[in-house]
A = this chain, B = another copy of it.
Amino acid sequence: MQRLSETLFRSLLDQMDTFLFDCDEKSFYTVKNKRIILVTNNSSHTQKSYFEKCRKMGFSIQSEENVVTTSTVCCDYLRNFLQYSGKVYVIGSPGLGEELVRFGYSHLGIGVWLVHAIHVKISITKGDFVKAVIVGIDVHLSYAKVLKATTYLANPECHFLATNDDARFPGLHPSIVFPGAGAMVAAVKTSAKREPIVMGKPNKPIFDYVKSRFNIDINKTIMIGDSVLKSPSRDQSARCGGEASEEEVPVPELIQENSELQTDIAFAKSTGLKSLLVLSGNTKLDDVGTNDIVPDYFTDSVADFCHFA
């Protein structure tokens, strides 16, 4: 692992033609005349919304298509790899639903439906409707949704996909632990007694998608990994959810995440890409030694690029 010097950066600019970035705002930095692709495990927003956000921030990503979300990868996998054309049962967010519709899929499950239901109508027919279940992050998670997903998955012919399995989601409040898609996936796979195919980093499907879609040369592509945890922002405190017995509770220290090692750098290592760890997030240089996932290069901040470029 080498610290990124100006010489090294210039040499990388010469060697690389494609820069993959995670969608963390702090890692958004335009590398002129290079192809930039955003690769995110987040399934809750569409390509379009990410693209617009980037434009607003002055991050010159070339096209909407250069935003790769796990929703897109999931839909592409379903259509092109599994060649599935039926209905999809989803535990997930509206962004995933929009992406399914864009790919021509009808879906069931998204939204607040079934939240209060204990009993669910699943009629006994010889129909052939739902043979694919997708699980991603869903703030309207419910028992009935897990029941429906699990019941569909009892059919061994029913496909089981997960957008990603990140344990936590970067929230605005530093003291609250926001469960990630991994929590939803764990619930379903436990009662389904089956393992899903996981689309997101560090797994292979998202890499396969990027590789074939953009025809990348792995020797000329580098993954830039930053922390997935946003900066603490105390003025954006969480709103009340309406629990009757709401009380002031002790908020413990936030457990530090090393997501960029666990997802981005691991993703790069497993796929043969070069990797650059940016330390402006929550990963400290010392953390790297405790892990067998070691990036090729590291730098304190993507702002360094400004000085070198």
Contact = CB atoms under 8 A, between A and B. Distances in A.
Interface of A: 108-109, 112-131, 138-144, 146-147, 150-156, 158, 167-168, 175-180, 182-193, 238-255
A242 B118 CA distance: 10
A179 B154 contact: no
Given A151-B251, A152-B249, A167-B193, A142 B120 contact: no
Contacts of A182: 190-191
Enumerate the 7 nearest inter-chain pairs by beta-carbon distance, A residue then B residue, closest first. A117-B241, A155-B252, A179-B191, A186-B186, A186-B190, A119-B239, A121-B240
Contacts of A249: 122-123, 125, 127, 129-130, 152
B130 A139 contact: no
Majority DSSP secondary structure for residues of A touching B:
loop
Contacts of A109: 243
Contact of A175 (B124, B128, B131, B141): B124
Q: Within the oligomer, what is the number of copies of this chain? A: 2
Nearest to A193: B167
A168 B191 contact: yes
Contacts of A242: 113-114, 116-117
A241 B144 contact: yes
A175 B124 CA distance: 8
Which of A185, A249, A255 gathers the greatest number of chain B CB atoms within 10 Å?
Answer: A249
B129 A248 contact: yes
A299 to B, nearest CB: 28
A254 B154 contact: yes
30 contacts: A109-B243, A112-B116, A113-B241, A113-B245, A117-B240, A117-B243, A121-B238, A121-B246, A123-B251, A129-B248, A130-B250, A140-B142, A140-B143, A141-B141, A141-B142, A141-B143, A141-B146, A144-B243, A146-B183, A147-B177, A150-B179, A150-B183, A151-B176, A155-B252, A158-B252, A180-B191, A183-B187, A183-B188, A184-B187, A187-B187
B179 A187 contact: yes
